[in-house]
Amino acid sequence: MNSDLEITPAEWQVMRVVWSLRQTTSSQIIEILQQKVEWKPATIKTLLRRLVDKEALSATRQGRGFIYEPLVPEQQTMDQAADNLFNNICERHVGSTLEHVINNATLSKDDIASLQKLLASKVANSPDNVKCNCIPHMQMKC
């Protein structure tokens, strides 16, 4: 389906509000976002329009305005964004980058338990070291 959805940082702010409220109006989004960022209402309307254009949100007419709702699931969108990032970086360094992220993240006990379980399940089939994939046909240490 719609697997190639690109959400810009500014648009993420809007999406997060809509995902949180599940269903909302432009004025509510504007009111909420103005507590977080210094954007004029017109700016937020532009972002809303672009998100509707790229089919990240639906807009259903309701009287004067629209009701906005997410057309893409939050987790899936985050996973995709993470994939894009980790595709840019060297495979050899994914582990250390994850370490950095985990170090700075707030994780719940359940999150930690899940990750521990996942890691434990991966260890058996894990290589002794990961090869750098920065340069084709050549093993670099980068």
Partner DNA sequence: ATAAATAATTTACATCTGTAAACGCAGGAG
Partner DNA sequence: CTCCTGCGTTTACAGATGTAAATTATTTAT
Q: Return the number of the residue (27 or 114) whose C-beta is nearest a second copy.
A: 114
Q: Return the number of the residue (42 or 120) whose C-beta is nearest a second copy.
A: 120
Q: Are 79 and 86 in contact (CB under 8 A)?
A: no
Q: Return the number of the residue (40 or 100) whose C-beta is nearest a second copy.
A: 100
Q: Is 10 in the site for DNA (CB under 7 A)?
A: yes
- Give the footprint of a second copy on residues 43-102 (CB under 8 A): 74-75, 78-79, 81-86, 88-91, 93-102
Q: Is 39 in the site for DNA (CB under 7 A)?
A: yes
Q: Among a second copy, DNA, none, what does residue 2 contact (CB within 5–8 Å per kind)?
A: none
**Per-residue binder mask for DNA (CB under 7 A), 58-97, x = binder:** -x---xxxx-------------------------------
Tokens for 39, please give them.
Answer: 């954007």
Q: Return the number of the residue (63 or 106) whose C-beta is nearest a second copy.
A: 106
DSSP conformation letters of the chain:
--------HHHHHHHHHHHHHSSB-HHHHHHHHTTTS---HHHHHHHHHHHHHTTSEEEEEETTEEEEEESS-HHHHHHHHHHHHHHHS-GGGHHHHHHHHHHHS---HHHHHHHHHHHHHHHTT--SSPPP-SSTT-----
